[in-house]
């Protein structure tokens, strides 16, 4: 008995074509999203684009037919022996028809160009808004992960132009399909074989173009981290905040050389892809030209044989050339559609990111005032992707109106504790409660409203003084009395009084006539911003590191008075400040090692006493 013969291996060319078509089909899955983006950005412009596409679709066939009518009318007038004036009147209606079609074509082209420019601006604004709104919604954990910035950079790169390119390519596909159908119907009337030649001769060029489009996309996506490095090097070499060190340390040429080395690497990679893409396009383009001129010779032969009229020959040659161009343009548009979808895929991947920290449905409103206090109950935490715990088994109760200081060496977990308290992260284990309720049960917006925070890496907004302070409570930005009161509390009033336009002075060197402040002056502005919020809990993370001892003392004297009845959490390396707290929490290796008043901790003669004495020794 003969064994069943194994199936013949599939033809490699057919398999390659099928694989490429499958990849293209998979890559255009974002096309509906692109249309939704365009529709959301400007419905009128989108509708105008569709209408103009339909008009433009029928023009090539109509113009080819009008050309045939003109030539046949001229030949008919010649056969009838009409005079020049009579012959012109005989041909004039067809000339008028062609002129009308040319005018419509020009008007349509101009209108589409205007519509595209308007739509591009509106689409850019819409997509940028989506990107930034998503950034607002995402957790802090995303922004502390370097890989997220690769995702963000890829999402922002060419997202708006890719979405518009997808829509334009899709509309042009519809236009070209309609045009091609109308032309093919005329061409089939003469020879079905010509219609087949037109189609087949354009396919290899399309397959080559789509292959190199994918290579270009993969290259751009793969080097996202290096692209960020390129941007960072440019920022270092041109930024106001870095120029002093760059000059004094002589870093300019070294960093520029690194920039140019990376740029040249990108350039060589892009050039290699572009060269191969151009050679492939040239080779397959020559094949299409050979097919055209072979068909040209056959049509001429048929005309000489009297099988078709001179007008038919003119029309068929025009149709053949336009059909070939339409198919090539159609396939090129599919290739561009494919490439644009690849880039838009980055945007859709970014927009699909979801925050882990969300408000619960029907979340509770965070209490104001806090009546029972704050409790850390067996809290442990590790950062996403990390193996080791940053905080271990933290148990701490903070009473209403109590001032707590957190001290410890760098890396002890002080700032991480603040991130958990303000619910920028959730604990890996354990609970944090306010008035006996887990933070995760509160509405996130109302919870954040209960905290006034100034981090050690506070933002220096390059806006006016009024805005720098008012941003602490954005819905009170127009409350000038409240802004002035916050400035007074933060010790910023004397600084503002010395500025040329007072509260309307723009800060920083980014803008013309901007006023630059010293580190201590910026810190007072940031303190004022924290005091702008009528918070139940005030958190100050190294808030006075840039202030001198006298200014620091004055701030905390005032701070103690202003926080009466509310909770204050302070992180500081200055023990002269720390000793003013009601209780001091000493952190080491992510755990609470000591807890008590200044006097109690000094009497214990432990880690706190040792650190205090070391610092005090420096002032003797």
Supply the pLDDT for residue 13. 55
- Of 494, 495, 538, 546, the closest CA to residue 520 belongs to 546
Domain boundaries along the sequence of the chain? 19-351, 459-534
pLDDT for the residue 174: 72
Q: Given this model, what pLDDT does residue 427 score?
A: 93
**Between 566 and 395, whose confidence is greater?**
395
**Strands ordered across the beta sheet of 583-588:** 451-454, 537-541, 567-571, 403-407, 583-588, 591-596
Q: What is the pLDDT of residue 385?
A: 79
Least confident of 29-33, 38-42, 335-339, 475-479: 335-339
Per DSSP bridges, beta strands 537-541 and 451-454 are: parallel
Does the CA dihedral 416-421-426-428 come out positive or negative?
positive
Nearest one of 489, 476, 575 to 527, comparing CA atoms: 489
- DSSP letter at 584? E
pLDDT, mean over the chain: 77
Please check whether residue 560 is in contact with residue 395, taking contact to mean a CB–CB distance below 8 angstroms.
no
Q: Pairing between strand 391-398 and 583-588?
A: unpaired
- pLDDT number for residue 583: 92
CATH number 3.40.50.300 is the correct assignment for the domain at 459-534: yes
Assess contact for 520 and 551: CB atoms under 8 A.
yes
Give the model confidence (pLDDT) of 551-603 as tens digits.
Answer: 666 666 666 666 677 888 888 777 777 887 889 999 988 899 999 998 999 99
b or e along 181-215 (b: 16 or more beta carbons within 10 Å of the residue's beta carbon)? Answer: ebbbebbeebbeebbebbbebbebbbbbbbbbbbe
pLDDT of residue 76: 80
**Residue (of 196, 189, 179) closest to 302 by Cα position:** 189
Token pair 């398999």 is at which residue?
Answer: 15
For position 3, what pLDDT does the model report?
46
The answer to pTM > 0.85 is: no
Check residue 4 and give its pLDDT. 45
Tokens of 69: 């009518």
Record: fold of 19-351: ABC transporter transmembrane region fold (1.20.1560)
Tokens 């209490």 locate to 367
Higher pLDDT, 526 or 620: 526
Secondary structure in 3-state letters for 368-427: CCCCCCEEEEEEEECCCCCCCCCEEEEEEEECCCCEEEEECCCCCCHHHHHHHHCCCCCC
31, pLDDT greater than 60: yes
CB proximity list for 183: less than 8 A, separation 6 or greater: 60, 61, 64, 319, 322, 323, 326
Flag whether pLDDT at 20 surpasses 60: no
Chain segment 351-367, per-residue pLDDT in tens: 888 888 888 888 899 99
Which among 573, 524, 564 is positioned nearest to 547, based on CA atoms?
A: 524
Q: How far apart are CA 493 and CA 503, in angstroms?
A: 10
Nearest C-alpha neighbor of 453 from the set 484, 480, 420: 420
pLDDT digits (tens, 9 = 90+) for 47-102: 887 888 778 877 877 777 787 788 778 878 877 877 778 877 888 888 888 888 88
Q: Indicate if the pLDDT at residue 424 is higher than 50.
A: yes
Which residue do the tokens 């509770």 mark? 364
Joined together, the tokens standing for residue 212 give: 């190199």
Lowest mean pLDDT among 208-212, 376-380, 401-405: 208-212
**More reliable by pLDDT, 333 or 73:** 73
Percent above pLDDT 70 for the chain: 69
- Model pLDDT for residues 135-155, shown as the tens digit of each residue: 888 888 888 887 787 777 777
- 13 versus 109: which is more confidently predicted? 109
- Looking at per-residue pLDDT, the higher value among 342 and 97 belongs to 97
Segment 597-620 mean pLDDT: 82
Quote the pLDDT of residue 562: 63
Using an 8 Å Cβ cutoff, are 557 and 536 in contact? no
Segment 93-133, tens digit of pLDDT:
888 888 888 898 888 888 878 887 777 778 778 888 888 88
pLDDT of residue 119: 77
Confidence of residue 2 (pLDDT cuts 50, 70, 90): very low
Residue 465 — pLDDT band, cuts 50, 70, 90?
very high
- What confidence category does residue 323 fall into, taking pLDDT thresholds of 50, 70 and 90? low
Cis before 369? omega within 30: yes
């Amino acid at each position: 008995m003969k064994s069943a013969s194994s199936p013949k291996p599939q033809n490699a060319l057919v398999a390659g074509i099928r694989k490429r078509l499958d990849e293209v089909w998979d890559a255009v899955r974002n096309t509906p999203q692109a249309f939704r983006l365009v529709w959301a950005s400007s419905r009128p412009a989108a509708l105008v684009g569709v209408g103009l596409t339909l008009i433009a679709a029928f023009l090539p066939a109509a113009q080819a037919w009008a050309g045939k009518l003109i030539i046949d009318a001229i030949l008919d007038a010649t056969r009838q022996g009409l005079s020049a004036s009579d012959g012109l009147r005989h041909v004039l209606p067809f000339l008028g028809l062609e002129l009308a079609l040319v005018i419509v074509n020009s008007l349509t082209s101009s209108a589409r160009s205007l519509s595209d420019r308007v739509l591009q601006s509106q689409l850019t604004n819409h997509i940028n808004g989506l990107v930034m709104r998503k950034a607002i919604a995402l957790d802090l954990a995303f922004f502390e992960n370097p890989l997220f910035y690769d995702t963000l950079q890829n999402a922002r790169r060419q997202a708006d132009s890719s979405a518009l390119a997808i829509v334009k390519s899709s509309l042009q596909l519809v236009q070209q399909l309609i045009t091609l159908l109308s032309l093919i119907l005329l061409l089939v009337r003469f020879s079905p074989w010509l219609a087949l030649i037109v189609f087949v001769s354009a396919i290899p060029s399309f397959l080559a173009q789509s292959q190199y489009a994918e290579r270009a996309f993969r290259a751009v996506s793969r080097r996202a981290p290096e692209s960020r490095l390129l941007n960072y090097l440019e920022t270092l070499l041109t930024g106001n905040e870095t120029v002093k060190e760059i000059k004094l340390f002589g870093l300019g040429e070294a960093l520029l050389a690194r920039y140019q080395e990376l740029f040249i690497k990108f350039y060589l990679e892009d050039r290699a892809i572009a060269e191969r893409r151009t050679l492939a396009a040239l080779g397959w383009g020559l094949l299409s030209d050979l097919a055209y001129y072979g068909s040209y010779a056959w049509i001429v032969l048929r005309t000489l044989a009297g099988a078709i009229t001179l007008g038919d020959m003119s029309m068929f040659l025009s149709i053949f050339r336009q059909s070939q161009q339409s198919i090539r343009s159609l396939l090129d548009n599919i290739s561009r559609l494919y490439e644009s979808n690849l880039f838009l895929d980055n945007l859709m991947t970014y927009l699909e990111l979801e925050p882990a920290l969300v408000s619960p449905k029907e979340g509770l409103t965070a209490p104001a005032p806090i009546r029972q206090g704050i409790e850390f109950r067996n809290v442990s935490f590790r950062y996403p992707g990390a193996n080791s715990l940053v905080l271990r088994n933290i148990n701490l109760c903070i009473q209403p109106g109590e001032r707590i200081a957190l001290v410890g060496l760098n890396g002890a977990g002080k700032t991480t504790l603040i991130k958990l308290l303000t619910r920028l992260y959730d604990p890996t284990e354990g609970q944090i409660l306010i008035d006996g309720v887990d933070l995760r049960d509160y509405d996130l917006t109302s919870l954040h409203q209960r905290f006034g925070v100034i981090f050690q890496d506070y933002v220096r907004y390059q806006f006016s003084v009024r805005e720098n302070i008012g941003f602490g409570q954005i819905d009170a930005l127009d409350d000038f009395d409240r802004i002035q009161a916050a400035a007074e509390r933060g010790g910023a009033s004397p600084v503002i009084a010395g500025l040329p336009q007072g509260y309307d002075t723009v800060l920083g060197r980014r803008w013309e006539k901007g006023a630059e402040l010293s580190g201590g002056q910026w810190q007072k502005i940031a303190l004022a911003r924290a005091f702008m919020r009528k918070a139940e809990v005030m958190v100050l993370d190294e808030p006075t590191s840039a202030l001198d001892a006298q200014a620091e003392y004055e701030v905390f004297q005032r701070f103690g008075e202003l926080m009466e009845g509310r909770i204050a959490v302070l992180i500081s390396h200055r023990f002269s400040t720390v000793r003013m707290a009601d209780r001091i929490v000493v952190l080491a290796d992510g755990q609470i090692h000591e807890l008590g008043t200044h006097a109690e901790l000094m009497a214990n003669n432990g880690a706190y006493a040792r650190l205090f004495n070391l610092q005090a020794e420096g002032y003797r």
